[in-house]
Structure 1
Amino acid sequence: MARPDGSSEVANDLDWTRQLWSSVRCAGVLLALLLLVDWGTGRMALWRIVLWFALAGLLFVVLFPARVSAGRNWLASRRLVREQRVRTDLLVSVRCLDGISPLLVLRDARGGRVQIDPEVLVRNPQLWFRLHEGADKAAADGLLLCGQTALRRLSARMDRETARAVFKASGLD
C-alpha cells in the first residue's frame, strides 16, 4: 500500500489481528453470559436483550486495539473512528507516560500527535526501526528537543528484548 510520502514499504503491527479477535471474544463472552443469566432466571425481554447487546458493543469499542503502522518518516495509529499521524523526521517531542498502561506520546512540528503503547514497538521491531530512523533525523536536524531520554530508554529496552529473543532461540535462556 503506497502512502502519501511515496514510500511503499509499510511496517504494521503484526499482533493487531490477534488483539482484535481477543476484543471480539471478550465482548461475545460477556454477551453470552448476560443472555444466559437472563434466560436462566426467566427474565429475558426484548429491551434487556437490546441492553446486553449495547453493553457488549460498548466493551468491544473500549477494547478495540489501535492499528499502528509506519513508513519512511511517518507513524500512524488508527482507531475505530480516526487516524492519528506524525512525521517522525519532524518530531519535536517524545514523552513516555507511565501509569496503569504506559503510553508513548509523539508530537511533530506540524502539530501531529500520536499516542501508542510502547509494547507495540517491542513486539514489532520494524515499527521501532521506522520510528528510530525518523527520530534520529529529527535529532540531527535539531528539532527533537524533548524526548532523547525516553528514546534512549526505549532503545535500551529494545536491545534487551532482542538479546533475550536471541538467547531463547539459541537455547541459552
Structure 2
Amino acid sequence: MLLIDGCSGGLTPARAALWAGVAAVLLLVLWPVRVTAGPGWLAVRGLLRTRRVRTDALAGAWRVGNVSAALVLKDVYGGRVELAPEILLTNPLVWHLVDAGARRSRERGTLRTGGALLDRIGRLIDAQAGMILRTSGLR
C-alpha cells in the first residue's frame, strides 16, 4: 500500500508513518506461533517470547473463549502456555507427547483440572485418525 500510495502522488510523511503502523499491527496479529514439544515439555514461541510448560507436571487445562477457543495448559512450576486446539488436531505427534505428559501428571496427582477436556481432545484426534485410515483404505 505504501508503494501504491507513493505512485499515486499522495504519500506524505504522516501517511508513510500510518502505513508503517498498519504493517506493524498486521505483523503482530498475523505472526504464527511455533509449537514444539518433547518428552515432558511443550513450548509455544510467539513474536516476542517463548512460553514453556512441563506436561509431566500439569496442574490444569482450560478452554478459554467461545469463537476462537484456546487451550491453556499450566504446570505446577508456574509455566503457562496458550494455543489453539487445532494445532494439536493437525499435529498428532505433538498431541502424543502432550497426552503422555498429561498421563504422567495424572499418575503423580498434579493434574487437578481439565482431565476431561484433554480426554475429549484425545477422542477427537483418535476419531479423526480413524476417519483418515478408513478413507485411505488402510483400516
Same fold flag (TM > 0.5): yes
- Which sections of structure 1, spanning at least 5 residues, go unmatched? 1-31
| RMSD (CA atoms) | 1.9
1:97 aligned onto 2:68: no
Partner of 1:36: 4
Q: How far is 1:105 from its partner?
A: 0.5
List 4+ stretches of structure 1 deviating above 2 A: 34-40, 167-172
1:66 aligned onto 2:14: no
Partner of 2:80: 113
Query: 2: distance between equivalents of 1:168 and 1:98?
Result: 33
- The one-character-per-residue Cα deviations of 1:85-105 (angstroms, maximum 9, x if unpaired) are 110010010112241211111
1:170 aligned onto 2:123: no
Query: 2: distance between equivalents of 1:65 and 1:112?
Result: 21
1:146 aligned onto 2:100: no
1:88 aligned onto 2:68: no
- The one-character-per-residue Cα deviations of 1:100-153 (angstroms, maximum 9, x if unpaired) are 211111011101111011100111111100000000000011111111110111
Q: Percent identity?
A: 36
Equivalent residues, number: 139
Query: 2: distance between equivalents of 1:74 and 1:148?
Result: 17
Q: Secondary structure at the match of 2:60?
A: strand
- What TM-score do you get using the length of structure 2 for normalisation? 0.90
Q: How far is 1:51 from its partner?
A: 1.8
Q: How far is 1:38 from its partner?
A: 6.2
Q: Which residues of 2 match residues 2-81 of structure 1 at below 5 A?
A: 32=1, 35-36=3-4, 39-40=7-8, 42-81=9-48
Q: How far is 1:68 from its partner?
A: 0.6
Q: Secondary structure at the match of 1:58?
A: helix
Q: Secondary structure at the match of 1:165?
A: helix
